[in-house]
Amino acid sequence: MKNLISFIQFFIFNVLGALIAKYQCDCSLFVEETICLGIDTCNWVNEVCINKDCSEIDENECDLIGKCSLNSNGICEATGFCTEYQVKDQIDCMIKKGNCAAENKTNAAGFYQCKSYISVDCNSLAAENCTNNYEDGQTFCWLNSTKQCQSYNINSCEGLPLDVCDKLDCKKSNGQCSTFLCSDITSQDKCTYVKDGYWGSLTLCQWKEDQIPKCIDRIETKDYTNETCSKMTDGRYYWNNESCISCPKNFEDNSSSQLNLILYLIYILQEL
C-alpha cells in the first residue's frame, strides 16, 4: 500500500512540476503580426500567420527543421532524396538531411554519401555494420560504450553515445550524455528554457533571486504576457484566453485528459 501511495504521489509531482512542452505551435495559432514575426519558422502574409517555405528559413536553422535541408550550394530547400546529400559526419545524414543512412566510408572529397535506409534491428547488427542503420525515423543504430550495436532515440539525450552527444545538442559531462538542465544556465538573460536535444521536450526556466541567484525549473506561466509567451518558450506556448498555454499536437490538446487522470489519482489517495 505504501508503495502505491508513493507511486501516485511521485506521478502527480512530476506532472505538476516543471513545465515541459514537446510540440511547437503551428503558425496559424499566432494571431498577431508582431508575435508571428517573432517566431523563426513563421511569416505574416495577408493578415495571417503561416509556416515559412524552406527557401525563407535561415541557413543556421534549415537543417534542424524536418522538411528542410541545406543543399550543396548552401541554400535551404525542401528535403529531397537522400542521395542528393553529402555530409562530414555519418549521423548528419539522419539528423540534418531527413531519415537517411550513410555510406561506410568517405568519398574522395572527404564526405559521407547519404543513402536511403532499410529498417533493421540494431541489436542484431555486428559492430562494423552498426552506425549506418536505423530502425525507424526516430531510432538510429550506434555503438554503445562496450562497442555493441544498440538503438537510440533522437528525441532524448539520456544515455546517447558520447561521440554523437554534442551532435544532437546534448550535454557531455563526466563521461555521460544527458540533457541540459535549467541549473546549467548561469546568466539571467539566458534563463528561458532548455531542450532535450534538438527535437526532444522543452523545459521552461526562470531566474530566482536568492543569496546565490540561480536558474531553476519554471512551474507556471502567469508572469508571461501576450508579447513574451511564445518568444520566451521557443514557440511551444501560445496566448489563448488571456493565458500562456502549451501548444497541442496536431491541434489536439490532451491537457483535459491529463487533468482528469490527476484528479482521479488524488481521489484514490483520499480513499486509501
Q: What count of Cα atoms within 13 Å lies in the side-chain half-sphere of residue 226? A: 11
In the 8-state DSSP scheme, what is residue 4?
Answer: H
Strand partners, 48: 45
Task: Please tell me the predicted confidence (pLDDT) of residue 48.
Answer: 95
Q: Which of 76, 95, 72, 99 is nearest to 85 (CA)?
A: 72
CA distance linking residue 5 with residue 2, whole number of Å: 5
State how far the Cα of 207 lies from the Cα of 228, in Å rounded to an integer: 15
CA distance 270 to 272: 6
Measuring CA to CA, which residue among 176, 208, 167 is closest to residue 191? 208
Strand, coil or helix: what is 98? coil
Q: Helix (H, G, I), strand (E, B), or coil: what is residue 269? A: helix
What CA–CA distance (Å, rounded) separates 187 from 198? Answer: 21
Give mean pLDDT in consecutive 10-residue pieces for the chain, a chain of 272 residues.
42 50 87 92 94 91 87 91 92 84 89 90 92 83 93 93 92 94 96 92 94 94 93 93 86 40 42 49
Question: According to the model, what pLDDT value does residue 6 have?
Answer: 39
